[in-house]
Amino acid sequence: MICTVTLNTSIDKAYRLASPLVDGAVQRVATCIDNAGGKGLNAARAVATCGEKVIATGFVGGHTGELLCDLLAKDGIPERFVHAKSETRCCINVLEPSGRSTEFLEPGREVSDAEAKALFERIDELATSADVVTFDGSVPRGMADDTYAVLVRRVRAAGKPCILDTSGALLAKGIEALPTMVKPNTDEIGQLLGRHVSGIAEVCDAARELHERGVEQVVVSLGGEGAVMACADGLFRGRSPKIEVVNPVGSGDTMVGAFAVAIARGFSPADQLAYAMSRASANCLSASTGHFDPSVADDLLAGTAVERIG
């Protein structure tokens, strides 16, 4: 079983426009798709689509929290949320005919100390039966920068692998607790190491350096150019087949969910990378955020190349 932790859940709205966005003008939305969102819930859907058992936890609250639980139930994702008094946020992704994507992300509203304590205890409970735990995304307003560091240490102390997918100070502090895997992009790993990172050689050096600090697997996502992974088996470069992107939002979260599945199934690191990349690419071909067709993912896996480069 995979446990996904989403501290800052949201209702994700995908607005597809029939014509290009015009600044300062009324925009007519052609179609709207609502999803139970937050990075960890996208990861949870990926786990379920891959055929593994999953349970989602995190905070929900208010009327939007009720809607989120209803949407998640329709996706067939079981949950053990902590219900907070504050309202769950909404986030909007505007998709233009050109394929350009513009996101509007609300901050998460504050949770109380008692609610936070209840969630930490819930994660402790779920971790005992989980094969892998993922920590995904931002945190509600007011939670400390070391929130993930505390949670990672608790899960690792229970002897369970965990994946941390966040950014900024949360990532910098979280890495100190040595999660099993992190998935920064080039900007994020540059911020962690205090230098600008560009070009494949610098990405490889950065991934290797972070791995040598004690993170077992460092996966640096390169968007359409694939990904680089540093681990005990060496340094790997993954490339996916070229596709016509429909909606890229949620592809990184899908990658995290698929990595959790591959780790739980005992895949080699190179095979984990290929498997996760194929599922992330398939997500880009779906209009609905955090969804993909398994048969399409399998076709993409056949064309995904992973080579050892160091």
Distance, CA of 305 to CA of 256 (rounded, Å): 18
CATH of the domain at 142: 3.40.1190.20
Contact 133, 124 (CB under 8 A): no
Distance, CA of 122 to CA of 56 (rounded, Å): 11
Q: Are strands 29-37 and 54-61 parallel, antiparallel or unpaired?
A: unpaired
Helix axis angle for 251-264 and 269-284, nearest 10°, is: 150
pLDDT along the chain (310 residues), means of 10: 98 93 92 93 95 98 97 96 97 91 92 97 97 97 96 97 97 97 94 91 95 97 90 95 82 95 97 96 82 90 93
Query: How does pLDDT run across 195-227, given as a tens digit for each residue?
Result: 999 889 999 999 999 999 999 999 999 887 899
Query: How does pLDDT run across 166-175, given as a tens digit for each residue?
Result: 999 999 999 9
Domain span holding position 48 = 2-22+29-308
- The two three-digit tokens of residue 118, written as one number: 């209840």
Number of domains in the chain: 1
Distance, CA of 219 to CA of 229 (rounded, Å): 4
Buried b (16+ CB within 10 A) or exposed e, 136-169: bbbbbeebeebbbbebbbbbbeeebbbbbbbbee
Contact 10, 137 (CB under 8 A): no
> Which conformational region is residue 55 in: left (phi greater than 0), alpha (psi within -120 to 50 degrees), or beta?
beta
Residue with token string 């990378």 = 273
Q: pLDDT value at position 251?
A: 86
Contact 43, 9 (CB under 8 A): no
Handedness of CA 50, 283, 66, 106 (dihedral sign): positive
Contact 240, 258 (CB under 8 A): no
Work out the percent of the chain whose per-residue pLDDT is above 90: 85
Helices (H) and strands (E) in the chain, counts: 10, 14
Q: pLDDT value at position 160?
A: 97
- Name residues whose C-beta falls within 8 Å of residue 46's C-beta, 6 or more positions apart in sequence: 253, 254, 255, 256, 257, 258, 261, 279, 283, 290, 292
Contact 43, 260 (CB under 8 A): yes
Q: Which residues pair with 60 in a beta bridge?
A: 83
Residue with token string 């007011």 = 142
